[in-house]
Chains A and B, each alone.
Chain A
Amino acid sequence: MKNQFKTSVSLIALLTLTVACGGSGSGGGSSDKKTSNDQQREEEETEVAESGDYLAFLRPINTRVYGFINSGKAEVKADQNLSVNLVMDDVPGVTHIQSIHIGKRCPHKEDDTNNDGYIDIKEAMTVAGKVLIPLDDNLETQTLGRSQYPTGKSYTFQRRANMKRVMNDLTLPDEDVNDNVIKLTDTEEFSFEGRVIIIQGAYQTALLPSTVATIGTLTSAMSIPIACGRMMKRITAPVP
């Protein structure tokens, strides 16, 4: 039997639990003291997402990019906290932008609309939708924690955040409707079920044609999707 062990330095950085009752932590700079009225208003105004335990199997996309058949699994628990445990088998030395997208389908070969043999991030987002939650160093906000993504190979990503703070951020006004990140307009019906997780990133030296579109200031090698999985509610029934 194959027996793997890794001598690579682990890049796991598990955030300590941010206390839901308003202890110090995220938010940077603002006072943590709240009046009871403020607290009550916050609870009334913020709807949390539907609770659930989700599992997403990350299957490979664009395997020809660097010739590795990657795969992984993400476990997402949504209750009072949003907990993400993502394990990915991949090549060494590549940093992977990874996100939960608002859409409910992973891209397939037929979504390669310009027929260049690659599904680029723009083509992927036509079916997977825009980014809802970047799976970076800070799950509580879409903007903080950017550029702090895990690097392969065979990495484990574990983060946890207060769900109310996550939803607060997701329901703020969208200041840039033209970027690849989206806010929620209605949280009451929101559920993580069916949403897709996309892992991006290939070697910087990957030779990609100019037809492979990218977003923002990212190179096409940095933004190209390499794996995708759809979050399914975990079934508790026993397996056969």
Chain B
Amino acid sequence: MKLSLLIGMAFSLSLHAEVLEGKIHSIVKGTGKDPDIIRLESGRVVFAEAKDANLLEQSGSSERFQIITDDQNLMVAVRSVGKSFEVKETVESPLLESFEPTILGSTDEVNKIFNRLRNNYKRDSQCFNRAHVWANDELKNSGLKSMKVFVFFTASYITRNRFNWWFHIAPLVKVQDQGEVSSRVLDYRYADRPVTVKQWTDIFVFSSRPCLVTTKFSDYDVNPQTEDCYLITTNMYYWMPQDIAQRDTTGVEKDKFATGSIESATWAAF
């Protein structure tokens, strides 16, 4: 039975209401007086009173919702809009050899790659789609084996700052810089040049606290979240946080771009 939820229809919408649509990834219960955090698969976060969030917990995992928020990003109304479209990826086989990222020879090379990133992204495009297309573009363009860097924002950070996202992703490249191999993040939308990982997270982490580096999604997902953020770096084939969680569960590493994911990301973001 199609689940249809209508909450708070008596609410009058503020002038700055926002409507979000998508699947729910998970719900983080608020502590004390803090609202619950609804994490959408798009990376967006919506705050909700516990009683409202509880209703969503009963829905199916493939259910898509339309959520209306007020100017404080608090859910004021929600309705189910049906099942979501799933991208069918080919089943990946275990890697025979580990992924070795390309090490670029100079920061000039990094700058050139940055400057040719596709910039005709849609205004409401998602970071994971942009990053996926950018990585695939450069692989086809120059054979570059890049990586992805995921920053996950903890519930405490989200609540304290009324932050709108629970994760953000961008391509990451390795480069020889003054005799050492270092990393640069290529986030065309939010930085005007390649930046270090710390410079990149500082855009989004207002405390400028460094993010805890980990390899497992569960390290971010289940712990008390006293940090502000977590970082996970993967090879370029990882598209969304669910891919990391799946790898953690199955032990299978992604070793290629699935055709469905690139087409879907391109259509969605550009």
What is the interface of chain A, defined by CB distance below 8 A to chain B? 1-9, 55, 57, 59-60, 63-64, 67-69, 71, 73, 87, 89, 92-93, 106, 109, 117, 153, 228-230, 239-240
In the complex, given contacts A7-B13, A59-B190, A87-B123, what are 6 additional A-B residue pairs having Cβ atoms less than 8 angstroms apart? A4-B19, A57-B192, A64-B208, A67-B161, A67-B162, A68-B164
What is the interface of chain B, defined by CB distance below 8 A to chain A? 13, 15-22, 40, 42, 44, 66, 71, 118-120, 123-124, 126, 137, 140-141, 161-165, 188-192, 199, 202-204, 206-208, 268, 270
Dominant secondary structure at the B interface: loop
Hey, which chain A residues are within 8 Å of B206, CB to CB? 63-64, 67
Q: Are A59 and B21 in contact (CB under 8 A)?
A: no
Q: Are A1 and B199 in contact (CB under 8 A)?
A: no
Q: Are A5 and B204 in contact (CB under 8 A)?
A: no
Of the listed residues B15, B18, B189, the one surrounded by the most CB atoms of chain A closer than 10 A to its CB is B18
Q: Are A4 and B124 in contact (CB under 8 A)?
A: yes
Q: Are B192 and A230 in contact (CB under 8 A)?
A: yes
Which residue of A63, A92, A230 contacts B16 across the interface (Cβ within 8 Å)? A92
Q: Are B119 and A57 in contact (CB under 8 A)?
A: yes
Q: Are B118 and A2 in contact (CB under 8 A)?
A: no
Q: Are B19 and A57 in contact (CB under 8 A)?
A: no
Known: A67-B163, A68-B164, A92-B16. A2 touches B190 (CB 8 A): no
**Distance in angstroms between the alpha carbons of A68 and B18 in the assembled complex:** 15
Q: How far does the Cβ of B202 sit from chain A's closest Cβ, in whole Å?
A: 7
Q: For the complex of A and B, list the 5 residue pairs with the smallest distance between their C-beta atoms, beginning with the closest.
A: A64-B206, A92-B16, A3-B21, A67-B161, A8-B15
**Distance in angstroms between the alpha carbons of A93 and B72 in the assembled complex:** 12
Q: Are B118 and A240 in contact (CB under 8 A)?
A: yes
Q: Are B189 and A59 in contact (CB under 8 A)?
A: yes
**Distance in angstroms between the alpha carbons of A165 and B17 in the assembled complex:** 40
Q: Are B66 and A109 in contact (CB under 8 A)?
A: no
Hey, which chain A residues are within 8 Å of B161, CB to CB? 67
Which residue of A3, A6, A239 contacts B120 across the interface (Cβ within 8 Å)? A239
